[in-house]
Amino acid sequence: MAKIVVITSGKGGVGKTTTSAAVATALALKGHKTVVIDFDVGLRNLDLIMGCERRVVYDLINVINGEANLTQTLIKDKRVDNLYVLPASQTRDKDALTTEGIEKILAELSKTFDYILCDSPAGIERGALLAMYFADEAIVVTNPEVSSVRDSDRILGVLASKTKRAEEGKEKVKEYLLLTRYSPERVEKGEMLSVEDVQEILSIPLLGIIPESKAVLKASNSGVPVSLDKESDAGQAYLDAVDRFLGETRAHRFINVEKKGLLQRLFGKKKAG
């Protein structure tokens, strides 16, 4: 039985797709058969971030409409074993998504996969609601910024009420907070919300803190999920986060301002970790 995990946020542009790609890759690297599904119909991005945009033949909507089966549609990642991508449609819109269609797809994927990641679009409309409807667990991606925190809070409310688990009175969806684009320098200056500030409002377990990093833009542009860039701070932070997700304990890194030593200041190099 697969675990269905939704990566959601409410707010747009906080790092859901980056996270979906990074987490899916990290899980697959650990040997778990993982598929990541793009629910952003019409504005699909996941295929770009995963680096497989030239290999998309069929998409999620084709499968829902019965025009293609899953085997034809799933794209196997070339770099990492056990990793598959189910892209969204570029030309259709979210009205083509149906609950029954998604249910069938998830049921079929559950037979062979360990983890099914659902990359949610921003907002609280159809695409976002369907991405979270069947979820067992949720990673709520938040920037340490007031509107992102407010939207994540809203999404937590929706997760508690508009999911299958909520409607059937089952054990609620397990929620995790992933704080992204964190800058310890700005937090120290008082310009940015700290981890504690965000946790006080959201009160859900903290999965990880991903620092603001140039590596993320590099990764998107080259179609390489950032967790494959093991030298970068963001990459390492994602790998830590996935270890925690799988039950291990990891100390949170990249959350304190680095005191630069003399040599570092002279030569301007920044160590990761």
Partner 1 sequence: MDNATNHAIKVEPAFVLKGSLFTLSVLQLLDSDLKKLGRELSEKIRLAPKFFHYAPVVIDLSKLALSPNQPFDFQACNQVLRGHQLIPVGVRGGSAQMHQAAQAAGFAVMIEPHSNTADKNQPNLANRKTIENNAQNNVQEAGGKILKEKDLKELKNLKDLETGLENSEENLNNNFKKSGNLLITSPIRSGQQVYAQGGDLVVVASVSPGAELLADGNIHVYGTLRGRALAGINGDVKARVFCHKLQADLVAIAGHYKVFEDVRADDDDFYKQLYLQDGQLCIGSL
Residue in 29, 84, 81, 28 with CA at minimum distance from that of residue 56: 84
- Which of 57, 201, 246, 257 is in the footprint of partner 1 by CB under 8 A? 201
Residue 203 binding partner 1, by CB under 8 A: yes
Region binding partner 1 by CB under 8 A among candidate stretches 16-24, 28-36, 196-204, 238-246: 196-204
Residue placing its CB nearer to partner 1 in the complex, 123 or 211: 123
Region binding partner 1 by CB under 8 A among candidate stretches 86-94, 103-111, 162-170, 246-254: 162-170
CB of 213 to partner 1, least distance (A): 29
CB of 163 to partner 1, least distance (A): 10
How many angstroms separate the CA atoms of 181 and 225, rounded? 16
H-type alpha helices, the chain: 16-29, 46-50, 60-64, 70-73, 99-112, 126-133, 146-159, 164-167, 184-189, 195-202, 214-222, 233-245, 262-267
CB of 176 to partner 1, least distance (A): 15
Residue 193 binding partner 1, by CB under 8 A: no
How many angstroms separate the CA atoms of 27 and 29, rounded? 5
Residue 157 binding partner 1, by CB under 8 A: yes
CB of 160 to partner 1, least distance (A): 7
Residue in 27, 137, 135 with CA at minimum distance from that of residue 83: 27
Tokens read off for 11: 């707010």
Give the count of beta carbons closer than 10 Å to the beta carbon of residue 224. 19
Q: Check: CB of residue 208 under 8 Å from CB of residue 238.
A: yes
Strand 75-76 relative to strand 174-182: parallel, antiparallel, unpaired?
A: unpaired
Residue 162 binding partner 1, by CB under 8 A: yes
CB of 156 to partner 1, least distance (A): 5
Residue placing its CB nearer to partner 1 in the complex, 65 or 161: 161
- Which of 57, 81, 125, 154 is in the footprint of partner 1 by CB under 8 A? 154
Residue in 255, 266, 136 with CA at minimum distance from that of residue 206: 255
Residue placing its CB nearer to partner 1 in the complex, 150 or 244: 150
Region binding partner 1 by CB under 8 A among candidate stretches 39-47, 106-114, 195-203, 209-217: 195-203
Residue placing its CB nearer to partner 1 in the complex, 144 or 211: 144
Return the SS3 of 179. strand
Tokens read off for 12: 């747009």
Residue placing its CB nearer to partner 1 in the complex, 157 or 205: 157
Binding mask 164-183 for partner 1 (x = CB under 8 A): --xx-x--x-----------
Contacts of 259 (CB under 8 A, 6+ apart): none
Residue 150 binding partner 1, by CB under 8 A: yes
